[in-house]
Amino acid sequence: MTSARRTAKALATASVLLLTPALAGCGTERAGDAGPGAGYSSPAVGASPYVEPDAGDGAPHYRENHAFQSTAELSPADRAKGDAEVKKVETGLAGIAEGRKTTESQLHEALAGLGYGPETISTGTFGPHRNTFIIDLGPICVEGALDGMVNGLVKAEAHGRYLEGTGCVKPVGGH
């Protein structure tokens, strides 16, 4: 017998010996039997034992690692005012966002036209068709974006100032 044939025969024999127990099963319990493992359910695959309540994507220490992005709580009156400002902004910007590429200066003008002072408005761009804005109304921040490529989508939200001392501008970094 040649060396190649002996190697092939040895590999085939080893494969059969290794796969036979796996294919045959290794226990005598059948589905539906109430054996010693009945009632036990294994944890979900990929589930973390370190999940914190309200932990975003479930990563350990999520809240701790993102604490620098925390905002001040709004009072009920400020929450109501913030929600009204969001509605005003979303309605007011819908016309300039619809089917067009809006520039930062057009966005700034439109927000000023809604009654916001130029010192309270910050604008920026994110990609070729998306503009972002922040309106600083003291304890209330209105933050949002408009996207001309998504049928004039205008999204905004009201929140309190960032606790890191950056006002209405989201802090970058953390620990």
Q: Which of 76, 67, 82 is nearest to 138 (CA)?
A: 82
Is residue 98 one of the residues assigned to a domain? yes
pLDDT band at 23 (very low <50, low <70, confident <90, very high): low
Residue 167: what pLDDT?
85
Percentage of the chain modeled with pLDDT above 90 = 34
The Cα 90–Cα 114 span in angstroms is 11
Count other C-beta atoms under 10 Å from residue 9's C-beta.
Answer: 11
Measured on CA atoms in the order 89, 95, 97, 102, is the torsion positive or negative?
negative
Q: Is residue 19 a part of any domain in this protein?
A: no
The string of DSSP codes covering 44-98 is: PTT--TTPPTT-TTT-TTHHHHTGGG-BPPPPHHHHHHHHHHHHHHHHHHHHHHT
Does residue 58 lie within any of the structural domains? no
pLDDT score at 108: 94
Number of domains in the chain: 1
- Domain assignment of residue 120, yes or no: yes
Q: What is the pLDDT of residue 172?
A: 80
Q: What is the pLDDT of residue 40?
A: 47
Q: Is residue 146 included in any domain, yes or no?
A: yes
Indicate whether 48 belongs to any domain.
no
Structure-token match 């990563």, residue found: 59
- What's the average model confidence in pLDDT over 12-16? 59
134 is a domain residue: yes
Summary mean pLDDT of the chain: 76
Quote the pTM value.
0.62
165 pLDDT more than 50? yes
**pLDDT tens sequence across 89-125:** 999 998 887 666 788 899 999 999 999 999 999 999 8
Highest mean pLDDT among 54-58, 70-74, 77-81: 77-81
Query: pLDDT tens for residues 125-146?
Result: 887 778 899 999 999 999 999 8
The verdict on residue 25 lying in a domain is: no
Tell me which residue range forms the domain holding 134.
72-160
